[in-house]
Amino acid sequence: MLSNRETAPGHFHMVLGLPVPIADPVPGQFVMVRMPDRLDPLLARPLGIYGFSRQAGEARLELLYRVAGKGTALLSGLSTGRVLQVLGPLGRGFRIVPELRTVILVAGGIGIAPLTFLAEHYRGLPAVVEGREIVCYVGARCSEALVGLERMEALCSRVVVTTDDGTCGACGIVTEPLGLDLPSFRPGATVIYACGPGAMLRCLADMLRESPVPCQVSVEERMACGLGACLGCAVAIRSGENALSYVRVCKEGPVFDIHELDWK
Amino acid sequence: MNSTGNRPPSLAVSIGGLTLKNPVMPASGTFGYGEEYAPFADLNRLGAVVTKGISLLPRAGNPPPRIMETPAGMLNAVGLQNVGVRAFVAEKLPYLRQHDVPVIVNIFGEAVDEYAAVAEILSRAGGVHALEVNISCPNVKKGGIAFGARPESAAEVTAAVRGNTDLPVIVKLTPNVTDIVEIALAVESAGAHALSLINTLLGMSIDVERRVPHLQNITGGLSGPAVRPVAVRMVWQVAGRVKVPVIGVGGIVDSASALEFLIAGARAVQVGTGQFVNPRMTLDVIEGIEAYLERHGMKDVQDLIGSLQCTSAR
Ligand SMILES: Cc1cc2nc3c(=O)[nH]c(=O)nc-3n(C[C@H](O)[C@H](O)[C@H](O)COP(=O)(O)OP(=O)(O)OC[C@H]3O[C@@H](n4cnc5c(N)ncnc54)[C@H](O)[C@@H]3O)c2cc1C
Ligand SMILES: Cc1cc2nc3c(=O)[nH]c(=O)nc-3n(C[C@H](O)[C@H](O)[C@H](O)COP(=O)(O)O)c2cc1C
Ligand code: FES
SS3 labels along chain B: CCCCCCCCCECCEEECCEEECCCEEECCCCCCCCCCCCCCCCHHHCCCEEEEEECCCCECCCCCCCEEEECCEEEECCCCCECCHHHHHHHHHHHHHCCCCCEEEEECCCCHHHHHHHHHHHHHHCCCCEEEEECCCECHHHCCCEHHHCHHHHHHHHHHHHHCCCCCEEEECCCCCCCHHHHHHHHHHCCCCEEEECCCEEEECEECCCCEECCCCCEEEEECHHHHHHHHHHHHHHHCCCCCCEEEECCCCCHHHHHHHHHHCCCEEEECCHHHHCCCHHHHHHHHHHHHHHHCCCCEHHHCCCCCCCCCCC
B226 ligand 2 Cβ < 6 A = no
Residue B117: what pLDDT? 97
Cβ contacts from A onto B, under 8 A: 93
Which residues surround ligand 3 with Cβ inside 6 Å? Answer: A 223-226, 228-233, 248, 250
Check if the beta carbon of residue B273 is closer than 8 Å to that of residue B281: no
Q: Least CB-CB distance to A87: which of B31, B66, B279?
A: B279
Residue B4: what pLDDT? 53
Please indicate, yes or no, if residue B209 is contained in any of the structural domains. Answer: no
Q: How many domains does chain B have?
A: 1
Q: Least CB-CB distance to A244: which of B60, B67, B277?
A: B60
B27 ligand 2 Cβ < 6 A = yes
Residue in chain A nearest B272 by alpha carbon: A230
Helix (H) or strand (E) holding A167: none
Cα(B280) to centroid of ligand 1, in Å? 23
The dihedral through the CA atoms of B71, B216, A221, B87 has a sign that is positive
Contacts of B69 in chain A (CB under 8 A): 41-43, 222
How far apart are the CA of A170 and the nearest CA of chain B, in angstroms?
30
Q: What is the CATH number of the domain that holds B286?
A: 3.20.20.70
What domains can you pick out in chain A, each with its CATH number? 3-90 (2.40.30.10), 102-220 (3.40.50.80), 221-264 (2.10.240.10)
- The angle subtended at Cα B48 by Cα B47 and Cα B49, nearest 5°, is 140
Cα–Cα distances in Å, from B62 out to A246, B79, B205, B215?
A: 9, 5, 17, 10
A231 CB contacts (<8 Å, ≥6 apart)? A246, A248, B29, B52, B61, B66, B78, B81
Residue in chain A nearest B59 by alpha carbon: A245
> What is the DSSP annotation of A122-138?
HHHS--SSTT-EEEEEE
Report d(CA A213, CA A135) in Å as an integer: 15
**Spans of chain A, pLDDT less than 50:** none
Contacts of A228 in chain B (CB under 8 A): 32, 36
Please indicate, yes or no, if residue B142 is contained in any of the structural domains. Answer: yes
- CA B94 to mean position of chain CA atoms: 22
Check if the beta carbon of residue B56 is closer than 8 Å to that of residue B85: yes
Residue B5: what pLDDT? 58
Q: pLDDT tens, A150-178?
A: 999 999 999 999 999 988 888 889 998 99
CB-based contact B52 A222, cutoff 8 Å: no
B145 CB contacts (<8 Å, ≥6 apart)? B138, B139, B153
Catalytic residues of B: 137
B 64-93 near A (Cβ less than 8 A)? 64-69, 71-74, 76, 78, 81
Q: Least CB-CB distance to B32: which of A229, A245, A246?
A: A229
Check if the beta carbon of residue A74 is closer than 8 Å to that of residue A140: no
Please indicate, yes or no, if residue B68 is contained in any of the structural domains. Answer: no
> What is the DSSP annotation of A177-200?
HHHHHGGGS-GGGEEEEEES-HHH
CB-based contact A232 B78, cutoff 8 Å: yes
Contacts of B227 in chain A (CB under 8 A): none
Report d(CA B201, CA B229) in Å as an integer: 12
Please indicate, yes or no, if residue B70 is contained in any of the structural domains. Answer: no
Reported ipTM: 0.93
φ, ψ of residue B129 in degrees (nearest 5): -105, -20
What would you measure as the largest C-alpha separation in chain B, in angstroms? 63
Taking alpha carbons only, the member of A22, A43, A33 closest to residue A225 is: A43
Neighbours of B2 (CB within 10 A): 11
Residue A132: what pLDDT? 87
Q: pLDDT tens, B220-252?
A: 999 999 999 999 999 999 999 999 999 999 999
φ, ψ of residue B221 in degrees (nearest 5): -95, 130
A7-20 per-residue burial string, b: 16 or more CB within 10 A, e: under 16: ebebbbbbbbeeee
Q: Which domain holds residue B298?
A: 13-62+80-202+224-303
Please indicate, yes or no, if residue B72 is contained in any of the structural domains. Answer: no
Report d(CA B91, CA B40) in Å as an integer: 22
Q: Is A171 on the interface with B (CB under 8 A)?
A: no
Index of the ligand 2 atom closest to the CA of residue B29 = 5
**Spans of chain B, pLDDT less than 70:** 1-5, 313-314
Please indicate, yes or no, if residue B69 is contained in any of the structural domains. Answer: no
Q: Is A39 on the interface with B (CB under 8 A)?
A: yes
Q: pLDDT tens, B271-293?
A: 999 999 999 999 999 999 999 99
Please indicate, yes or no, if residue B232 is contained in any of the structural domains. Answer: yes
Q: Using only C-alpha atoms, what is the Rg of chain A?
A: 18
Please indicate, yes or no, if residue B103 is contained in any of the structural domains. Answer: yes
Contacts of B278 in chain A (CB under 8 A): 36, 85
